[in-house]
Amino acid sequence: PAQCRGQIEGGVAQGVGSALYEEVMIGDDGRVINPVFRTYRVPQSADVPDTEVLFASTNDDLGPFGAKSMSESPYNPVSAAIGNAISRAIGVRVFEQPFSRDRVWRALQAGDAGSR
């Protein structure tokens, strides 16, 4: 359980990074145009909220000894939850990640034009 809990917490941290910080910028020619990866922002421990992990007793005959993959599953819902929280807070939906302050500000300026 401790290893699985760590994988879940890591997946949540990845989701937070994807939703709020991480962005690889690609130029028209397909090249990465981020100036340097030294300044590429990823979440640190203080950026990730405490994650409550609950386990359900299940069995899966497909994996060895009933094992299941767990490391990527918690990643998927995090950015959707953060996007929904932003939308509820400001009344406008932001459609592009990361949900940076600039993108949130532009969505607010656009008002209803930015929401669906």
| Residues tagged active-site | 72
**Which of 41, 35, 37, 34 minimizes the C-alpha distance to 17?**
41
d(CA 95, CA 72): 22
d(CA 99, CA 84): 11
Question: H helices within 1-116, ranges in order?
Answer: 2-20, 75-90, 101-110
